[in-house]
């Protein structure tokens, strides 16, 4: 299996690029943000609970998102070439849980591709996306700035966690969509295939 984490701050283009990579490599795209928004739209107890955190730009508790990922892996692992994780893991506890869930299924993370985008560019992109995405958390500059702070405080350490095993690679996340997907594909080529089980 080829299991990749697409890593980066809110607005770095993870969703757009995951859609391209998913088609290129036949991977299943798992976005915890999308899964949570689906739950919220269906007004499930999980979705309504998650909403309280999402509208403030805070992280939904680890146990909730880890449970969702466990369910998805159970449903899909036997049917796909691998997974592309987008917006997950966002804490070191989530990364440790993901590793354990993959080991249990005889596989592992092959690489973490980290999109690099300046804070100034992120704010611009998110406010712009808020005009059309219908996402309340993309319309409020205060919530956006909270999400970027949470990313810097709780999520950046995930990169160090994977960096320890030499699995993370930085990719320039500024430029055209094609330029960025080409850089990501080169990075995937250079991922040590021995990391794949
Ligand atoms: P995203 O679509 O990835 O920007 O996620 C939107 C919101 O969903 C985030 O601001 C969080 O409130 C929540 N969320 C998404 N993924 C996670 C995660 N892995 N851990 C905790 N909260 C998450």
DSSP-derived secondary structure for 87-141? S---SHHHHHHHHHHHHHTT----EEEEEE--HHHHHHHHHHHHHHH--GGGT-H
Catalytic residue flag (residue 147): yes
For the chain, the C-alpha Rg in angstroms (whole number) is: 16
* Pocket flag, ligand 1, residue 87 (CB < 6 Å): yes
The confidence score (pLDDT) of residue 192 equals 56
Helix (H, G, I), strand (E, B) or coil at 13: coil
Tell me phi and psi for residue 31, to 5 degrees.
Answer: -110, 115
d(C-alpha 17, C-alpha 26), whole Å: 14
The confidence score (pLDDT) of residue 191 equals 82
* Pocket flag, ligand 1, residue 37 (CB < 6 Å): no
pLDDT in tens, the chain (197 residues): 999 999 999 999 999 999 999 999 999 999 999 999 999 999 999 999 999 999 999 999 999 999 999 999 999 999 999 999 999 999 999 999 999 999 999 999 999 999 999 989 998 999 999 999 889 999 999 999 999 999 999 999 999 999 878 889 999 999 999 999 999 999 999 885 544 43
Nearest atom in ligand 1 to 34's CA: 2
Residues 88, 18 contacting (CB under 8 angstroms): no
- Other beta carbons within 10 angstroms of residue 19's beta carbon come to 15
The confidence score (pLDDT) of residue 92 equals 98
* Pocket flag, ligand 1, residue 148 (CB < 6 Å): no
- Other beta carbons within 10 angstroms of residue 104's beta carbon come to 10
Query: Probe ligand 1: pick from 9, 32, 147, max atoms within 8 Å of CB?
Result: 32
The confidence score (pLDDT) of residue 196 equals 46
* Pocket flag, ligand 1, residue 10 (CB < 6 Å): yes
Cα of 58 vs its chain's centroid, Å: 15
Catalytic residue flag (residue 135): yes
The confidence score (pLDDT) of residue 197 equals 39
Beta-strand (E) ranges in the chain? 4-7, 28-31, 83-86, 111-116, 168-172
């Amino acid at each position: 299996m080829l299991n990749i984490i697409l890593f980066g701050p809110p607005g770095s283009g993870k969703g757009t690029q995951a859609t391209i990579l998913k088609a290129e490599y036949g991977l299943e795209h798992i976005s915890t943000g999308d899964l949570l928004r689906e739950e919220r739209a269906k007004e499930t107890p999980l979705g309504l609970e998650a909403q309280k955190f999402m509208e403030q730009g805070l992280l939904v508790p680890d146990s909730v998102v880890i449970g969702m990922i466990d369910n998805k892996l159970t449903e899909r692992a036997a049917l796909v070439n691998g997974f592309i994780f987008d917006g997950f893991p966002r804490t070191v506890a989530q990364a440790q849980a993901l590793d354990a869930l993959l080991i249990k299924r005889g596989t592992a993370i092959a690489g973490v591709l980290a999109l690099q985008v300046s804070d100034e560019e992120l704010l611009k992109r998110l406010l712009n996306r808020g005009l059309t995405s219908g996402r309340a958390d993309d319309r409020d500059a205060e919530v956006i700035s909270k999400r970027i702070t949470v990313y810097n405080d709780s999520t950046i350490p995930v990169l160090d966690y994977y960096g320890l095993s030499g699995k993370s690679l930085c990719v320039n996340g500024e430029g055209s969509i094609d330029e960025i997907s080409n850089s990501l594909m080169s990075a995937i080529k250079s991922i040590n295939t021995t990391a794949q089980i």
